[in-house]
């Protein structure tokens, strides 16, 4: 059976704009108006807090965020506080778990595998976190975060993989609520020269499509949307 995935390559998108788009697409997917869709993008500097509202894991006052050029937003996703910003590859899958025959746990595990496979392409040995440690790690350093929302079997939010973000932004939070662990990036861990970020983002899309079993991938860039 052929499974189709429409991929929107969106460049840099404001967090709230991306949030509204996800809500619209999730509604359309639930109504069977669209096929499974994957948003590939980056965000300007943004801290996001999940539905548990663990804003205490933000270590600086809100007033300082503006001077740093960063925003703070609350989202209806799982997971704790995290940072999104330039040079981080983000995938937001809007897919029907029923159609691809996955439960929530297996879905998250396949998101982890997507990032593990990408890291391995650059000789970086990444792995899923221990119990209660979501995301993907290189030893005790986090290279990829996951926070998902599933409503009526339709997914939104997703994963963020650190290509080469400014890791100083992570010093102002307890990333994903996990104390005493560091954050890293592909740039820090790979012992090879990295290609252009657009190439890495396309490789991440390819890993996602392969691991989730999509054999018909339709790419749309910003000019086509």
Question: Known binding site for substrate: residues?
Answer: 77-84, 145-147, 158-160
Point out the catalytic residue in the list 94, 173, 176, 183.
Answer: 176
pLDDT, tens digit, for every residue of 83-103?
899 999 999 999 999 999 999
Mind giving me the DSSP string for 177-215?
G-TT-EE--HHHH-SS----HHHHHHHHHHHHHHHTT--
Q: How far apart are CA 161 and CA 164, in angstroms?
A: 9
**Residue 163 near residue 187 (C-beta atoms within 8 A):** yes
Annotated binding-site positions: 77-84, 145-147, 158-160
pLDDT digits (tens, 9 = 90+) for 1-43: 789 999 999 999 999 999 999 999 999 999 999 999 999 999 9
Contact 78, 148 (CB under 8 A): yes
pLDDT in tens, the chain (225 residues): 789 999 999 999 999 999 999 999 999 999 999 999 999 999 999 988 776 555 667 777 777 777 787 888 777 776 667 889 999 999 999 999 999 999 999 999 999 999 999 999 999 999 998 876 789 999 999 999 998 999 999 999 999 999 999 998 888 877 555 556 789 999 999 999 999 999 999 999 999 999 999 999 999 987 776
User: Do the strands 136-138 and 141-151 form a parallel or antiparallel pair, or are they unpaired?
Assistant: antiparallel
* Residue 176 falls in the annotated catalytic set: yes
High-pLDDT (> 90) share of the chain, %: 69
Name the nearest CA neighbour of 99 among 63, 152, 146, 142. Answer: 152
Interacting residues of 143 by C-beta distance below 8 A, sequence separation 6+: 115, 119, 124, 126, 135, 136, 137, 161, 162, 183, 184, 185, 186, 189
């Amino acid at each position: 059976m052929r499974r189709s995935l429409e991929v929107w390559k969106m460049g840099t998108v404001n967090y709230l704009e991306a949030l509204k788009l996800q809500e619209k697409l999730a509604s359309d997917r639930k109504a069977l108006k669209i096929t499974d869709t994957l948003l590939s993008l980056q965000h300007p500097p943004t801290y996001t807090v999940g539905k548990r509202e663990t804003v205490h894991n933000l270590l600086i006052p809100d007033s300082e965020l503006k001077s740093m050029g960063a925003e703070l937003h609350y989202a209806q996703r799982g997971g704790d506080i995290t940072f999104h910003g330039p040079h981080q590859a983000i995938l937001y899958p809007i897919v029907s778990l029923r159609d691809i025959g996955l439960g929530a746990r297996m879905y998250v595990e396949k998101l982890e595998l997507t990032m593990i496979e990408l890291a391995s392409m650059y000789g970086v040995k990444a792995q899923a976190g221990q119990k209660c440690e979501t995301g993907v790690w290189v030893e005790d350093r986090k290279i990829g975060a996951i926070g998902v929302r599933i409503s009526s079997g339709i997914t939104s939010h997703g994963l963020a993989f650190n290509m080469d973000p400014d890791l100083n932004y992570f010093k102002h939070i307890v990333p994903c609520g996990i104390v005493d662990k560091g954050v890293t990036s592909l740039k820090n861990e790979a012992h090879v020269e990295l290609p252009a970020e657009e190439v890495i983002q396309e490789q991440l899309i390819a890993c996602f499509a392969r691991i989730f079993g999509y054999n018909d991938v339709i790419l749309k860039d910003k000019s086509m949307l």
